[in-house]
Amino acid sequence: MKLCILFVAVFFSLARCSNELTFENRSFEKKTTLPCKGKCPQITVKIPFAKNVPIVADSINKKVFLTIKEIVYLDKKPTTYTALLESFIGSYEKLQKHFPKDTFGWEGQIEGSIIYLSNEVLNIKIKYHTYTGGAHGNQGLRSLLFDPTSGKTIPNKKLFIDNEVFKAFAEKQFRIKYKIHANDPINSTGLQFEDEQFVLPLNIFFTDKGLLLYYNRYEVASYADGPKELLLPYGEIEDYLAIR
């Protein structure tokens, strides 16, 4: 009898664990088949792929894919990573065939990683760099925030008890870090906030040390000035956070 009870307990324990959301790393790569010298055009994608809880995992995986497709941006038709990479390289090869004497150093490197996970929030960071010609490529970070129990995306405004109150606090800290006097316009040091109004960034990251406000290139400053960021320790913002 004791053996049977133990077996039942182990069975239900395993069943419970099998229903928990898990992730595996997946990689995709595509390289041109056209003759090339030096570093040949290619694109690689590495992502954490959610599984085990179908509805939740599907929601997360779909959002990650749509974000990466938006970064690659060449063709809206692909519905798989393989097709997306083929589209990227296909666009290069089509251009190369039309202009065989020109050199096009196309490349794409995209990597996703789980940087934060709690009962309330799952944060996936996507680091990317793509180049399809011009003076410089397209690079930056994207933050994807999910409810780990439903797989639904958490919009930035839902992170805070009062979005405007938190924004006022963040602006004060931002001005301190970048040495902008409280009475001066926010763009007085060369920043490019629209209409001279401080705004929270499009990408907010949960880290082990605190909440990271991250402005990609061009978001509030020129390309040459690079990204801007502000790390706010959790101890300073606990009263503002609606989830953590």
Mean of per-residue pLDDT scores for the chain: 91
* pLDDT for 49 beyond 90: yes
* pLDDT for 111 beyond 70: yes
Contact 147, 119 (CB under 8 A): no
In the chain, how many H helices and how many E strands?
5, 8
* pLDDT for 171 beyond 60: yes
In tens, the pLDDT along 55-71 reads 999 999 999 999 999 99
> In percent, how much of the chain has pLDDT > 90?
82
> In percent, how much of the chain has pLDDT > 70?
93
Hey, what domains does the chain have and what are their CATH numbers?
21-146 (3.30.565.40), 156-237 (3.90.640.20)
* pLDDT for 47 beyond 50: yes
In tens, the pLDDT along 190-209 reads 999 999 999 999 999 999 99
Tokens found for residue 48: 């954490």
H-helix or E-strand spanning residue 115: strand 107-117
Query: CA 214, CA 221: separation in Å to the nearest integer?
Result: 12
